[in-house]
Amino acid sequence: MTLRKRGGIWHFRFKLDGRPYAETTGLAATKQNEKKAQLAELEYRQALMEGRRQNRRVIVREFSHAAQDFLTWAQAQYRAHPNSYKRIVTSFASAKEFFGKQPVSLIDEGRIDSFKVWRVNQHDVRDITIRHDLHALSKFFEYAIRQHWTRENPIRNIEIPSDADAVRMHILTAMEEKIYFLRAAKWPDLHDAGRVILNQGMRPEEATTLAKVDIDLERGQIHIPRGKSSAARRTLDMTSETRSILARRVQGSSAWIFPSKRRPANPVGRLNHAHDRLVKAAREDNVAINWVLYDLRHTFATRMAQAGIDLATLAAILGHSSIRMVQKYVHPTAEHKKSAMLRYDAELQRAQREAEGKSN
């Protein structure tokens, strides 16, 4: 059989009489559905050989209208992962502006390349943003194929920045941290949430959506009940500063640690807006702040790694499911590498002395 997993769906691709055929089964790519998908492929082949199937014509659909249908589908598809849906919505704000009324079926690799160039030149985005945009578009074209708005996914032949190329992080120095939080004092929510992120290594959305029921001051613990994986749903022990900040904030009447006047709202967006205002004000004072809120989490992780915390423990604190995912946070300095080799050399010499002692 020629089944393939694409976008979480079983697809098949084969040749018959020298002509290639590719189709989606519409079935989720699970082991339980594998036999159903194989049967769908067999029926498709049989229909071709009996002349009962012809390629269905493409339905002409403007990108802007098709995108809205896709976003409605994505909202339901990603209901268990709202942050993934928000990321797609963010990417499509630019995609709809660029592709506009262009028919989906006419968007080819050349137009996608033009979109990438436009994003860089017009919005000065980094590789990580391009990566998010292209993955969102790939999901869209897989959906569009199922809706018969196009026959191909042009993203398949586009170079997408790799994880290594797309990772963009800034590790704050002690002086940068001091300057930032002195300025952040003008925005109490930004200041306090930032300190919690830096102290605990939490994701910004985890910190900003903390409810008071998630805080156990007596035990000094924070419970994070939601996340993309079981590893993300975890309990953290507070630092002294975090405990002080949260003890003060639980005194208010709101059920939230960082309340918003418009719940449900986008607390991270509100905090990012405050961060952007801080950056703008700093620039006017000739002070360069070239990092985002998420870099506070990066800084926590790197400092923990440099302090000698093992990667398995660090992964558990960060809410990652594997050690591989935390390796990007590890940035050993020359001093750390030298110290490690000195410890290793001392251990070799100790073992050698013991061996010589036994031989005598």
Which of these, 124, 111, 115, 76, lies nearest to 94 by C-alpha position?
Answer: 115
How many domains does the chain fold into?
Answer: 4
d(CA 100, CA 70) in angstroms, rounded, equals 14
pTM of the model: 0.58
- The CATH number of whichever domain residue 219 belongs to comes to 1.10.443.10
Q: Would you call 161 exposed, middle or buried from its count of C-beta atoms within 10 A (0-12, 13-18, 19+)?
A: middle
Q: Are residues 320 and 335 in the same domain?
A: no
Residues 222 and 243 in one domain: yes
Assess if residue 310 is contained within a domain: yes
Same domain, 293 and 356: no
Alpha-carbon distances of 305 from 171, 190, 206, 300, rounded to whole Å: 12, 26, 21, 9
The CATH code of the domain that includes 128 is 1.10.150
State the pLDDT at residue 43: 85
Domain residues for 150? 63-166
Exposed / middle / buried, residue 112 (Cβ in 10 Å: 0-12, 13-18, 19+): buried
Adjacent-strand bridge partners of 234: 224
Instruction: Judge if 202 and 304 occupy the same domain.
Output: yes
Query: 262 and 310 share a domain?
Result: yes
315 close to 231: Cβ distance less than 8 angstroms: yes
Same domain, yes or no, for 146 and 178? Answer: no
The amino acid sitting at 197 is I
Successive 10-residue mean pLDDT values, the chain, 360 residues: 79 78 83 88 80 67 95 91 86 94 91 91 80 93 92 87 65 93 95 97 92 95 88 94 96 88 62 90 89 91 86 92 78 72 89 80
Cβ(211)–Cβ(257) below 8 Å = yes
What tokens appear for 356 in the block? 């010589």
CA atoms of 136 and 206, how far apart (whole Å) = 23
| 210 CA to centre of own chain | 20
Q: Which of 84, 79, 95, 77 is nearest to 133 (CA)?
A: 95
Q: What pLDDT is attached to residue 168?
A: 66
Domain co-membership, 181 together with 310: yes
Give pLDDT, residue 267. 66
CA torsion through residues 258, 259, 264, 267, sign = negative
Tell me whether residue 258 is in a domain.
yes
Beta-carbon count within 10 A of 170 CB: 15
Q: Where are the beta strands (DSSP E) in the chain?
A: 3-6, 9-16, 19-28, 215-216, 221-224, 234-237
Task: Establish if 134 belongs to a structural domain.
Answer: yes
